[in-house]
Amino acid sequence: MAPPARRASPVRWGEPPPGLVPRAVARIRRLFGRPPPPSARTLPELPVALRRSELAVPYLAAEAASDHPAAGQAATVAMESSAAVAEWWPADIWGHRALWHFERASMELEATRAARMIGDLRSAAGDPLSARRYYAEAISEARDLGAEREQGLAALGMGRAEMDLADVTTARRLAQIAEELLERAGAPPDEIAAARELRGQEKEVS
């Protein structure tokens, strides 16, 4: 049997990890009918190599118009396209731009999904330790929103990251939580099956 393929070396990520405190403050302000404070971190200019790509055309148009929902959606499409061909560094940049725009637009579910997807791509790139920070944020945000499917997917991603880090017990526990959440949310069968596969079956000792 051929040896398992080795995963790519972790990428030197250029984006900072997410911060739960500023987003928590923004949620509290919204509860009292106050607008969220301006983001303390400005969005850096898109790297030239990405600005010249076809994926950037709809994004740059939306960004120029300060259309945060459209910019977030365009960045999400670019992230998914880059991740599909294992271009992890561009995918990560696009993912963080999607997260930033969705936060600016107060699109909490979309921002939560973006954080979870950044975790997915970092895990796929061979950096499960970094991915855990994003899964943790997505789990927390999804729980606050009552978005059980998104919470389940983030728990599943966290479980996979823990498995990659050789913490089998935690991975299986998270997989069980993910399975329960996804079942309650009526998630597609393949997502539930993925959680069951990660959880595994304990064999009885005779």
Q: Give, in order, the Cα–Cα distances in Å from 138 to each of 66, 131, 146.
A: 25, 11, 12
Q: Could you report the per-residue pLDDT of 111-129, keeping only the tens digit for each?
A: 999 999 999 999 999 999 9
Contacts for 24 with CB less than 8 Å, ≥ 6 apart = none
DSSP label at residue 3: P
User: Region 74-81: what's the mean pLDDT?
Assistant: 98
Q: What pLDDT, on the 0 to 100 scale, is given for residue 134?
A: 95
Instruction: For residue 42, name the pLDDT band (cuts at 50, 70, 90).
Output: confident
Q: What pLDDT, on the 0 to 100 scale, is given for residue 18?
A: 55
pTM: predicted TM-score of the whole model, two decimal places? 0.82
- Give the HSE-up count for residue 76: Cα atoms under 13 Å, Cβ half-sphere: 19
| 62 and 71 Cβ atoms separated by less than 8 Å | yes
Ranges 16-30, 38-52, 65-79, most confident: 65-79
Question: Which spans in 3-107 are helix H?
Answer: 20-31, 48-51, 56-64, 68-84, 88-104
Whether 14 has a pLDDT exceeding 90, the answer reads no
- Determine how many CB atoms are found less than 10 A away from the CB of residue 146: 9
- Amino acid at site 185: A
Q: Please give the residue that has the higher pLDDT: either 31 or 49.
A: 49
User: Region 79-86: what's the mean pLDDT?
Assistant: 96
- Give the HSE-up count for residue 86: Cα atoms under 13 Å, Cβ half-sphere: 7
Q: Please give the residue that has the higher pLDDT: either 84 or 4.
A: 84
Whether 46 has a pLDDT exceeding 70, the answer reads yes
Contacts for 27 with CB less than 8 Å, ≥ 6 apart = 108, 144
